């Protein structure tokens, strides 16, 4: 966990500086969980539109809660489209995470959709991102281009060999290793875990060679140490679903018998 007093708007700078950043995925359509996380000291949350029932209205409220709680709100969009990215950014997301980035061309398109200067992001002057018109259009665009983080997920076997090229795309601020989908792609192969560990090492080396920060989701303290050894500096610690299930299971174990 970094300095909890650091403003949420500094997330990209801290990510690029490879400060230790701790966050979690959010899947429950509520704002209260985010308000609980703020005082604890989480640096970021990832609002998961890909795997959770989160529409634009709920995402908007969750982003509002995160910003009010001093936590950087990132959004994992359900898939890459300009519209998904624009919606999240106008609502005030400080980072965009895109799943299944499998080509350099797709990575470049993601960056274009996320940026004003040299990009294709549509402009709206009265949004949370622009402080509801509290700054000039020029200032708003400059701040957004300098503060919004763009994160590419590598989670497909056919993207592994391209990880270095994707990481070198100008404007890709971090690589997130999606080990869940990589593991699933091996089916019931008993060597899946070992294979994904080796793939993770390859992706991490590619990101390191490209001087691009690495993000991971560790599943235990030992796995956290493994991710740190690979060079990951921003870690997503479980999810709201995971925290609740772990605590609920522990309570049953402690008190049921």
pLDDT in tens, 38-85: 999 999 999 999 999 999 999 999 999 999 999 999 999 999 999 999
pTM listed for this prediction: 0.95
Residue 93: is it exposed, middle or buried by C-beta count within 10 angstroms (0-12/13-18/19+)? buried
Check if the beta carbon of residue 9 is closer than 8 Å to that of residue 147.
yes
Residue 83: is it exposed, middle or buried by C-beta count within 10 angstroms (0-12/13-18/19+)? exposed
The band of 4, judged by pLDDT with boundaries at 50, 70 and 90, is very low
Is residue 37 scored above 90 in pLDDT?
Answer: yes
Closest alpha carbon to 19 in 248, 218, 232, 224: 232
Residue 64: is it exposed, middle or buried by C-beta count within 10 angstroms (0-12/13-18/19+)? middle
What's the pLDDT at 7? 86
Delineate the domains of the chain, giving CATH numbers in brackets: 8-255 (3.20.20.60)
Structure tokens at 123: 């402009």
Closest alpha carbon to 213 in 7, 4, 19, 6: 19
Give the residue numbers annotated as catalytic, written as ranges: 51
């Amino acid at each position: 966990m970094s300095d909890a007093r650091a403003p949420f708007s500094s997330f990209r700078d801290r990510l690029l500086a490879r400060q230790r950043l701790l966050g979690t995925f959010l899947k429950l359509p509520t704002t209260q969980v985010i308000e609980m996380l703020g005082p604890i000291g989480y640096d970021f949350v990832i609002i998961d539109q890909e795997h959770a029932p989160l529409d634009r209205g709920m995402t908007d409220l969750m982003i509002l809660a995160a910003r009010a709680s001093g936590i950087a709100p990132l959004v994992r969009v359900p898939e890459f489209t300009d519209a998904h990215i624009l919606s999240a950014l106008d609502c005030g997301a400080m980072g965009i995470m895109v799943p299944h980035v499998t080509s350099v061309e797709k990575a470049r398109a993601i960056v274009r959709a996320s940026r004003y200067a040299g990009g294709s992001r549509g402009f709206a002057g009265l949004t949370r991102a622009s402080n509801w018109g509290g700054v000039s259009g020029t200032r708003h665009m400059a701040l957004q281009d300098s503060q919004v983080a763009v994160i590419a997920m590598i989670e497909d076997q056919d993207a592994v060999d391209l990880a270095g090229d994707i990481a070198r795309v100008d404007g890709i601020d971090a690589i997130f290793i999606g080990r869940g989908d990589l593991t699933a792609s091996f089916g019931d192969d008993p060597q899946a875990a070992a294979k994904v560990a080796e793939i993770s090492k390859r992706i991490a080396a590619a990101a390191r060679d490209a001087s691009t920060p690495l993000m991971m989701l560790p599943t235990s303290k030992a796995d956290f140490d493994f991710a740190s050894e690979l060079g990951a500096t921003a870690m997503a610690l479980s999810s709201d679903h995971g925290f609740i299930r772990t605590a609920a299971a522990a309570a049953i174990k402690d008190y049921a018998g």
